Amino acid sequence: MTRWARAACIAFVAMLSSAGCTIDLDGWNVACGFLDQATCRPVVEVALGNLAWRQPASPQGTIKVDARGCPAEADWPDWADPSQCWQVVIPLDPGDLQACMVIARRPRLGGYGQVAGDEYGLPASRVPPQTRGCPA
């Protein structure tokens, strides 16, 4: 490989790694990767809404959103479109804790909904999180 070809390859990889959408949502920095803002914003809104009582008092780091295949779930909800899903990783306070949720489009109902991942529903004082992480 020539020096020029090597430099072009390195520049191309650097361009790909820096490409993508970044948005601000209620004080959170959101890295949308290659998703457009029209998809990224409502997907993150669903994930943040689903944190319910466990939502951190203040943003902790950057939320990461990536397109992914939908998990094969035996109890796949009938409202969900299994052709495309998004994975949302939200840093939680304190420390290294993260919430991971898989979100799918709801064609008949409109909008998006969570189909897999961590579930947070009650105040931390009442029950620990049902943490499952994001399935592969």
pLDDT of the residue at 5: 43
Quick check: 112 and 43 in contact, CB under 8 A? yes
Where are the domains positioned within the chain? 22-117
Stretch 116-132: mean pLDDT, rounded? 65
Least trusted range by pLDDT, from 7-16, 76-85, 95-104: 7-16
| Model confidence at 126: pLDDT above 60 | no
| Model confidence at 91: pLDDT above 50 | yes
**Cα torsion angle, 57, 120, 108, 39, sign:** positive
For the entire predicted model, the pTM comes to: 0.76
